[in-house]
Amino acid sequence: MARLLSLALIPALSSLALADGSGVAPLYDGFDDGTNQGGWFYNPGDVIESTGGNPGGWLHQPVADTFGPIFTSTADNFTGDFRAAGVDLLDFDARLDGLQFGDGSGFEMCLLLRDTKGTPDVGDDDYAYFVGPNIPLKGAGWKHFDFAIPSQSVEPVPAGWTGGWVGDPTSFRPGIDWNDVITSVDRVEIHWLNPAFFAIFQQWNVGHDNIAFHAGGSSVVRNGGGGNPLGFAETTPAELGGSWATTVDVATPGHPFSVVAIGTGGPAEGLFPGGAIVGELLVQPSFLVDVQAGAHSIPVPSDLSFLGACIYAQGATVAPSGAIHLNNALDVTIGG
């Protein structure tokens, strides 16, 4: 940190996300390179195709014998307390390559969020679902779907949503409402048929691509032993395609310059470098460094693969003597 460098910010942040030891949380599945980070499944016949997606790889179920396919994820980073995580949208692409009867008209794509109570018994499950538009028509190619998730709503049932359980697919059981489900989502399910409907049993040939959960960017203040000044603050969250804006208080110490250092090795604590560096170092070396005079703005790539990535940054001020005075750190999750 003794040598301060200006950044080519977008390439620098891109390289950071790749270097970050925490990796990118699986909030996005493009099914490229044979990966299925969310563990999305219909049955053991699922195939990750390497070409033909929108673009690249995609999840293909060539023979689903059912009333309507249901694709499910129980992965940790696709489930949990959606309210606390600030989840506000699920979107994905889908295609229908084959259907025994008809062209798919009259079948509606739905998002269902399920609270299993941590048991395999469906009798104690509670769920909420939203009925979306018609599924893709057979042979029409990829169709995009957006499902807004009002995770911050405290209504018993948000507009457009329906509650259900094994005893009634159109109403929550007594004593249960939206707030119980949205704070304890154990399974995320994409239904190719309204959960309250039945249809003829037939063979389907379907696919998914670019499944992504969206949430606002967030940051958590971290200050190790508590001895550093709390002068480093976020003013605009880090979100895809936007700029992550922060400030460092230079007025209180009367220093001319401020620094935001992003550690490529993850968080740290209990490190006191000494010499020209004053205070506790809270991010691991090496660093991407931006030098300004109080206000910092770092562009975030408009790339879904960065959704959910964590970065670890620390603010500092530079005294007229050149000494670097460390402030608190921010642990940042990229939203979008």
For the stretch 34-51, pLDDT in tens is 999 899 999 999 999 999
Interval 78-92 mean pLDDT: 90
Closest CA to 25 of 304, 276, 236, 297: 304
Residue 203 sits at the vertex; the CA angle it makes with 202 and 206, to the nearest 5 degrees, is: 130
Answer whether 233's CB lies under 8 Å from 247's CB. yes
Please enumerate in sequence order all residues whose Cβ is within 8 A of that of 21, keeping only pairs 6 or more positions apart, or say none.
265, 266
For residue 112, with 0-12 CB atoms within 10 Å meaning exposed, 13-18 middle and 19 or more buried, which class applies? buried
Mean pLDDT, residues 228-233 taken together: 98
- The token pair at 189 is 């399910």
Tell me the residue type at 11: P
Q: Which residues pair with 317 in a beta bridge?
A: 258, 325
Residues 6+ positions from 139 with CB-CB distance below 8 Å? 96, 97, 103
Q: Is 25 helix (H, G, I), strand (E, B) or coil?
A: coil
3-state SS assignment for residue 33: helix
Backbone angles phi, psi at 335, to 5 degrees: -110, -170
Beta strands 187-191; 108-115: pairing state: antiparallel
Mean pLDDT, to the nearest integer, of 71-79?
89
Predicted confidence at residue 24, as pLDDT, reads 35
Predicted pLDDT at 263: 86
Closest by Cα among 190, 54, 42, 189 to 109: 190
Per-residue pLDDT averaged across 89-110, rounded?
97
Query: Per-residue pLDDT for 108 more than 60?
Result: yes
Cα distances (angstroms) measured from residue 149 to each of 86, 97, 143? 9, 28, 20
Structure tokens at 250: 């230079």
Residue 73 identity (one-letter amino acid): S
Q: In this predicted model, what pLDDT tens digit does every residue of 276-319 receive, in sequence order?
A: 999 999 999 888 899 999 999 999 888 877 787 888 999 999 99
CA distances to 38, 73, 97, 223 from 41, rounded to whole Å, are 9, 7, 18, 41
User: What mean pLDDT is predicted for residues 231-254?
Assistant: 95
pLDDT of residue 97: 98
Strand, coil or helix: 82: helix
**pLDDT, tens digit, 9 for 90 and up, residues 130-167:** 999 999 999 999 999 999 999 999 999 999 999 999 99
Which residues lie across from 66 on neighbouring strands? 202
Q: What is the pLDDT confidence band of residue 236, given thresholds at 50, 70 and 90?
A: very high
Q: Domains along the chain?
A: 9-22+217-333 (2.60.40.10), 31-215 (2.60.120.260)
Task: For tokens 């490190």, name the residue.
Answer: 271
pLDDT band of residue 2 (cuts 50, 70, 90) is very low
Assign 296 to helix, strand or coil.
Answer: strand
What are residue 182's phi and psi, to 5 degrees? Answer: -65, -20
Q: How far apart are CA 220 and CA 92, in angstroms?
A: 29
| 194 touches 119 (CB < 8 A) | no
Q: Which amino acid is at 191?
A: H
Distances (CA, A) of 180 to 87, 162, 327: 15, 13, 39
The Cα-based distances of 290 to 106, 197, 330, 332 in angstroms read 55, 56, 15, 16
